[in-house]
Amino acid sequence: MIKTPIALRSLDRVARSHSRMSTLLIAILVAASTAAPAQAHHSFAAMYDGTKPVRLVGTLSKIEWTNPHSYIYVVVKNPDGTSTEWAGEAAGPGALSRRGFKKGSIKIGDTIIIDGFLAKSGAKIVDARRVTLPNGQIVNGGTAGDGGPGDPIEAAAAGASTPPPATDAANPGPSAPPAPAANPQ
């Protein structure tokens, strides 16, 4: 049997140790990268006030198709003639697409309606529970499982049957919050 020199055996131990450290570092980086998006996701109650419904009628200024939430920005004319940009937080792009709201459904400058609930912080952001597109199509914009009004997952857990999201103005469905007559300031 051939004897391995001590220097080669030491080098082999260092290489194995380095390999384990590299594997550990990769595992830490993967865990950190998957934890960041989870922090961005929140429950309805953490951010919005279910007792403060609002209807925003405005002109689309920007849309961000991002996960875990998409953001729809509209410029709303105030009663005093000034304008305010509002953000509507909606479900992620995949969920919206499955509900019929796709990237080609709206374009900058279109007039849209967002029915939702005001942020607890007073920021110009609403939970977009229902979005009425320029063609009249109504889409459930809420994130399933967030615990907000009309959440089909919460209703199922409570034993209630929930009809599908609204598809037209004549059938607003359970996800539609009552909307005040005027835009907020």
**Residue range 151-179, pLDDT digits in tens:** 655 545 555 443 333 323 333 333 344 44
- Judge contact between 96 and 141, C-beta under 8 A: yes
Q: State pLDDT tens for residues 98-148.
A: 988 899 899 999 999 999 999 999 999 999 999 999 999 999 888 776 667
Tokens of 35: 């934890």
Query: Residue 146's closest CA among 35, 55, 47, 56?
Result: 47
Q: How many CA atoms lie within 13 A of 166 on its CB side?
A: 24
Beta-strand runs (E) in the chain: 48-64, 70-77, 83-90, 111-119, 125-132, 138-140
Helix, strand or coil, per DSSP, at residue 73? strand
Lowest mean pLDDT among 2-6, 87-91, 123-127: 2-6
- Determine the pLDDT at residue 43: 78
Pick the CATH number of 44-157 from 3.40.1350.10, 3.40.50.2000, 2.40.50.140, 3.40.50.300: 2.40.50.140
Q: How many CA atoms lie within 13 A of 150 on its CB side?
A: 25
Domain spans in the chain, listed from the N-terminal domain onward: 1-39, 44-157
Beta-bridge partner residues of 55: 115
Rg of the chain over all Cα atoms, to the nearest angstrom: 24
Tokens of 48: 């919005």
Residue 88 phi, psi (nearest 5): -110, 120
Residue 90 has pLDDT above 60, yes or no: yes
Helix, strand or coil, per DSSP, at residue 126? strand
Lowest mean pLDDT among 4-13, 85-94, 109-118, 129-138: 4-13
Task: State the residue for tokens 């920005």.
Answer: 73
Q: How far apart, in whole angstroms, are the C-alpha atoms of residue 123 and residue 119?
A: 6
Residue 5 has pLDDT above 90, yes or no: no
Task: State the residue for tokens 């391995």.
Answer: 4
- Determine the pLDDT at residue 7: 55
- Determine the pLDDT at residue 94: 92
